[in-house]
Amino acid sequence: MDEETGGTNYVATVTIDGQDGDFNAEPEGGIVHREYVAFHNVDTLNAHAALIRDTLARIYGESVAADFMNASRLPHKGRAVAWQGKKLAYVAFGSALFVERLADLPDVIHNLRACDALDCSD
């Protein structure tokens, strides 16, 4: 139970390539729009393409990892790095890797710009 919203959050501890992290899925109205893994000891995940790929392969399978590897990096000059694949969108922000539905990508990009302007940490 998410204490802030009263909704359900799915949480699991993961270890990928020797890095410990927490997997979170946050459903809204019965649909999971966003899932993410926040690693404990990684400062800037966007500098670790192999860890991103291995995380996606371990959690979602090789087809999603391949989608990431073939994804287009989106033009964004902030602290986050975003990619658009054919199946999903991917965002590395700090120590977290977010996996987003493609339908939500325009809102995600808008929020990235706002977050960079406000220097938010989430």
Domain ranges (residues) in the chain: 10-118
Tell me the β-bridge partners of 83: 73, 90
What is each CA distance from 63 to 31, 68, 86, 114, 122, in whole angstroms? Answer: 21, 9, 11, 32, 28
Q: Do 90 and 98 contact (CB within 8 A), yes or no?
A: yes
pLDDT in tens, 33-45: 789 999 998 888 8
Q: What is the pLDDT of residue 19?
A: 93
Which carries the bigger pLDDT value, residue 119 or residue 29? 29
Q: What pLDDT score does 7 carry? A: 63
Confidence of residue 10 (pLDDT cuts 50, 70, 90): confident
Q: Which two tokens stand for residue 119?
A: 């220097």
Is pLDDT above 90 for 87?
Answer: yes
Q: Which residue has the higher pLDDT, 52 or 77?
A: 52
Q: What is the pTM of this model?
A: 0.82
